[in-house]
Every structure is written in structure tokens, then in C-alpha cells.
């Protein structure tokens, strides 16, 4: 039986061969602590890390390399932004399409730091009206945080409208690019963001254990570190250094993963973000068109290729979703996810809580044939 991986919104699979060989090469030939040993291999490890920062700076148009910070995954980046900025009494605006990596730390801060939280309700398609954000702004608004694209519907949020809000507020502007870094063009400086949080192991094609954030100079000034420890810098002092990126990067980093991420970034910079996106949206278009011919299938989200990335959530009338996911895997070799995808609020918004959805998410390595095979599989399964 053929095997078709359609869970790229969780992690991309396969990885480009260059990513796997970069990790292998690092573990085989370098494998030293960066910035800690002055010998050749230690410097080489430091060079891998710095070169990856430079590539991320290029991809996202970051203000400088020092404002590109590595974290273990995007969840840590989002937590570092929230926990490192918000203080008691601060007001935060977010949306009802967020992942639990935003909602859970915010709920925690509501309980422990008495922040005030305003969750803007999106419509049944998961779409956000930017006017609602503007209306919610208060003098105490310290942060506006939203996902760039929903991991449930694939719907793209209007992050390009955020910088217009600077006329009305000094709030920190934070974007969760877990689902978009690598497939949508993101210009940090043009968007006028303060935090862009990204993961390495999804559409940047790096290994798990990688991710990070780009921050603005003004964010760098107020951001408190969440983890304290050895940085290989200012080892004479008993407090975390106050310069970036060391302030936010304690302990030995995942250098092998970063070496792989470097190769993933090369892959993207060579293919071109726009070309990757076009390919994925062609697959998504075929899939959505095919699904619309199958009776009993509901597609949740925008259903408009200009308003979404390559993630499609569906339900099937009268059918148990986890049973369908099991059959797709066991009988057709199609790997997808069923359930809530760590976004209970998103499902409440679109009306699929608590059952959730079947989620199909396409990556650069998927083909038109795989999509057609998947439509055929759904056709057969739902006809049973």
C-alpha cells in the first residue's frame, strides 16, 4: 500500500535529503559547544548557529542577526514573548482562532498576573474583522497577538493591518507564524511587528526541536528572560547578560537541529517561498474542488485559495471522525489528524467543538496524484 503523509501542519515530512545530511554531518564532524570552546570545532559550531541566524534574518527581513533568537519550538517563543513582556494590569487582545500555545499561556497569566484578556470573536469561517481589534484597544493594551494562519482551517489572518493600529496604540504586535513561515512571504520590518514567532520543523523543513522568534529593537529593550543560565558570555557575572540574543538563549542549544534548519532554509531560499506556496495551493484547490463533489462532507473555513494556506478541515455527516481517520491510515495509507488540533477556541468559533475535524495539510513534497487518490479514498469511505 502506498503511504501518503498529509499532516504537514503538525510537522513536515519528508524532510529534504539535505536537511538530514546536514544533521548527520553536524553530529559526525562538528558536535561541539558553540561560543564556549575557542578551538576550531567550537568555532565551527558557532559559525553554523550564526549562519542560520543570518538566513532567518534574510528570510524574514529581521532588523539584525542579534534579534533572531533560537528557541526549542514555537511554543517556547510565544511563551517567552508573553511571559517576558506582560505585567499585572496589562490588557491583551487576541483572536478566537488561536492555538493553545497562545491561549494557554494567556489563561495562565490571567490567573497569576491578573492580565485582562480580550478575545476577538471571529466569524463562522474563522475570519477576523480588523475593525474589532481597533475597537478593543484601551490605554492599558500592552499586546496584540494573533496567528498568521489558523492550524484548524488554514485561514489567513489580516496581519498586514496590524501596523495601522500603531496610530492608536503602543501595544507590542505579536504574530504566531507556526503555519506560515516558509509558505507565505513575511517581511518583519514592513509588517512593523515586535515579535514574529516561528517553528523550524514545519514549513521551514528543519528537524524537530528548532524554532525561534524575531524581535524588534523596542521589544529587545523590555523583554525579560524566561530561562537563566550559561550563555558562554559574561561568565564572570551571576545574572543573565542583558544583550540579545544571549539574554534569551541559556544552556547548550540544539546545534544539530539548527544545522538541519540551516539546510531547510537553503531549500526554501532556493525553491522560493512563492513557488512553494503556489504548488501547495494548487494541491489544496484540487482537494477542495474534489471534496465539494462528495455528499455529506462539510469543509470548514474560507474555502477560498486566496484566503488560506494548505490546511483543510472537514467533517462527514453521521460519521465518527476518529474511525474515518483510522480507516484512511489502515486501508488507504493516508496519514491525517482527527480531533481538536490543540485549538478548542478555533473549533468553538467554526462550530466543530468538541468533536473536532479531520484535518488534511499539504506540503511541498505532496503531488496531485496523492490528492486525487485521497479524494477517491474519501469518496469510497463515505459511500460505505
Question: To the nearest whole angstrom, how small is the minimum distance from the Cβ of residue 63 to a copy of itself?
Answer: 25
Q: Which is nearer to a copy of itself, 277 or 341 (CB)?
A: 341
Q: Element (H or E) spanning 41, and its range? A: helix 40-60
Q: Is 288 in the site for a copy of itself (CB under 8 A)?
A: no
The Cα–Cα gap between 58 and 285 comes to 30
For a copy of itself, the binding residue among 167, 318, 354, 384 (CB under 8 A) is: 354
Of the candidate spans 2-10, 141-149, 214-222, 370-378, the one that interacts with a copy of itself by CB under 8 A turns out to be 2-10
The Cα–Cα gap between 260 and 208 comes to 9
Q: Is 1 in the site for a copy of itself (CB under 8 A)?
A: no
How large is the angle between the packed helices 273-291 and 255-271, nearest 10 degrees?
A: 80
Residue 210: partners with Cβ closer than 8 Å, 6 or more residues away: 70, 72, 73, 199, 200, 201, 204, 254, 257, 258, 260, 261
Supply the DSSP string of 227-287, one letter for each residue.
S-S--SSSTTSSS--SSTTGGG--S---HHHHHHHHHHHHHHHHH-HHHHHHHHHHHHHHH
x/- string (CB under 8 A) for a copy of itself, residues 211-240?
x-------------xxxxxxxx--xxxxxx
Question: To the nearest whole angstrom, how small is the minimum distance from the Cβ of residue 43 to a copy of itself?
Answer: 10
Strands 211-215 and 195-199, sheet pairing: antiparallel
Q: Which is nearer to a copy of itself, 108 or 137 (CB)?
A: 108
Largest CA distance in the chain: 70
Q: Is 290 in the site for a copy of itself (CB under 8 A)?
A: no
Nearest C-alpha neighbor of 270 from the set 19, 21, 61, 5: 19
Question: To the nearest whole angstrom, how small is the minimum distance from the Cβ of residue 146 to a copy of itself?
Answer: 16
For a copy of itself, the binding residue among 60, 67, 76, 198 (CB under 8 A) is: 76
Question: To the nearest whole angstrom, how small is the minimum distance from the Cβ of residue 217 to a copy of itself?
Answer: 23
Q: Is 247 in the site for a copy of itself (CB under 8 A)?
A: no
Q: Is 341 in the site for a copy of itself (CB under 8 A)?
A: yes
Give the single-character DSSP code of 353: T
Q: Is 264 in the site for a copy of itself (CB under 8 A)?
A: no
- 148 touches 180 (CB < 8 A): yes
Nearest C-alpha neighbor of 173 from the set 245, 242, 87, 81: 81
Q: Element (H or E) spanning 338, and its range? A: strand 337-339
Task: Classify residue 330 by burial, with Cβ atoms within 10 Å: 0-12, 13-18, 19+.
Answer: exposed
Tell me which residues in 119-178 interact with a copy of itself (CB under 8 A). Answer: none
For a copy of itself, the binding residue among 353, 365, 372, 373 (CB under 8 A) is: 353
Question: To the nearest whole angstrom, how small is the minimum distance from the Cβ of residue 250 to a copy of itself?
Answer: 5
Q: Is 257 in the site for a copy of itself (CB under 8 A)?
A: yes
For a copy of itself, the binding residue among 99, 142, 148, 307 (CB under 8 A) is: 99
Question: To the nearest whole angstrom, how small is the minimum distance from the Cβ of residue 254 to a copy of itself?
Answer: 3
How many residues at the interface with a copy of itself, by CB under 8 A?
A: 85
Q: Is 269 in the site for a copy of itself (CB under 8 A)?
A: no
Tell me which residues in 28-57 interact with a copy of itself (CB under 8 A). Answer: 28, 31-33, 36-42
The Cα–Cα gap between 69 and 247 comes to 9
For a copy of itself, the binding residue among 54, 63, 84, 108 (CB under 8 A) is: 108
Q: Element (H or E) spanning 255, and its range? A: helix 255-271
Q: Which is nearer to a copy of itself, 24 or 275 (CB)?
A: 24
Supply the DSSP string of 104-124, one letter for each residue.
HHHHHHHHHH--EEEEEPP-T
CA angle 218–182–102, rounded 5-degree value: 55
Of the candidate spans 164-172, 184-192, 328-336, 370-378, the one that interacts with a copy of itself by CB under 8 A turns out to be 328-336
Of the candidate spans 3-11, 60-68, 301-309, 368-376, the one that interacts with a copy of itself by CB under 8 A turns out to be 3-11
Q: Is 372 in the site for a copy of itself (CB under 8 A)?
A: no
Amino acid at each position: 500500500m502506498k503511504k501518503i503523509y498529509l499532516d504537514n501542519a503538525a510537522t513536515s515530512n519528508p524532510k529534504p535529503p539535505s536537511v538530514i545530511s546536514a544533521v548527520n554531518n553536524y553530529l559526525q564532524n562538528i558536535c561541539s559547544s558553540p561560543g564556549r570552546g575557542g578551538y576550531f570545532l567550537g568555532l565551527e559550531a558557532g559559525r553554523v548557529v550564526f549562519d542560520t541566524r543570518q538566513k532567518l534574518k534574510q528570510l524574514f527581513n529581521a532588523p539584525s542577526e542579534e534579534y533572531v533568537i533560537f528557541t526549542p519550538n514555537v511554543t517556547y517563543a510565544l511563551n517567552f514573548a508573553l511571559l517576558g513582556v506582560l505585567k499585572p494590569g496589562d490588557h491583551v487582545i487576541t483572536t478566537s482562532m488561536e492555538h493553545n500555545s497562545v491561549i494557554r499561556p494567556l489563561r495562565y497569566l490571567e490567573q497569576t498576573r491578573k492580565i485582562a484578556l480580550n478575545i476577538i470573536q471571529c466569524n463562522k469561517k474563522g475570519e477576523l474583522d480588523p475593525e474589532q481589534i481597533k475597537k478593543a484597544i484601551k490605554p492599558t493594551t500592552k499586546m496584540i497577538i494573533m496567528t498568521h494562519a489558523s492550524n484548524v482551517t488554514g485561514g489567513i489572518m489580516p496581519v498586514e493591518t496590524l501596523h495601522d493600529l500603531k496610530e492608536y496604540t503602543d501595544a507590542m504586535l505579536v504574530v504566531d507564524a507556526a503555519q506560515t513561515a516558509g509558505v507565505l512571504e513575511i517581511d518583519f520590518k514592513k509588517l512593523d511587528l515586535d515579535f514574529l514567532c516561528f517553528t523550524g520543523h514545519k514549513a521551514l523543513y528543519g528537524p524537530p526541536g528548532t524554532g525561534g522568534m524575531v524581535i524588534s529593537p523596542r521589544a529587545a529593550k523590555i523583554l525579560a528572560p524566561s530561562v537563566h543560565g550559561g550563555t558562554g558570555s559574561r561568565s564572570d557575572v551571576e545574572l543573565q547578560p542583558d544583550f540579545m540574543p544571549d539574554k534569551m538563549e541559556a544552556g547548550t542549544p540544539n546545534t544539530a537541529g539548527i544545522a538541519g534548519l540551516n539546510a531547510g532554509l537553503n531549500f526554501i531560499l532556493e525553491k522560493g517561498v512563492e513557488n512553494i506556496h503556489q504548488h501547495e495551493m494548487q494541491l489544496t484547490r484540487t482537494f477542495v474542488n474534489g471534496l465539494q463533489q462528495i455528499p455529506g462532507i462539510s469543509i470548514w473555513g474560507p474555502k477560498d485559495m486566496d484566503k488560506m494556506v494548505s490546511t483543510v478541515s472537514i467533517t462527514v455527516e453521521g460519521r465518527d471522525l476518529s474511525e474515518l481517520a483510522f480507516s484512511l491510515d489502515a486501508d488507504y495509507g493516508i496519514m491525517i489528524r482527527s480531533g481538536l488540533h490543540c485549538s478548542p477556541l478555533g473549533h468553538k468559533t467554526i462550530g466543530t467543538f468538541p468533536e473536532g475535524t479531520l484535518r488534511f495539510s499539504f506540503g511541498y513534497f505532496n503531488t496531485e496524484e496523492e490528492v486525487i487518490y485521497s479524494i477517491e479514498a474519501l469518496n469510497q469511505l463515505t459511500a460505505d
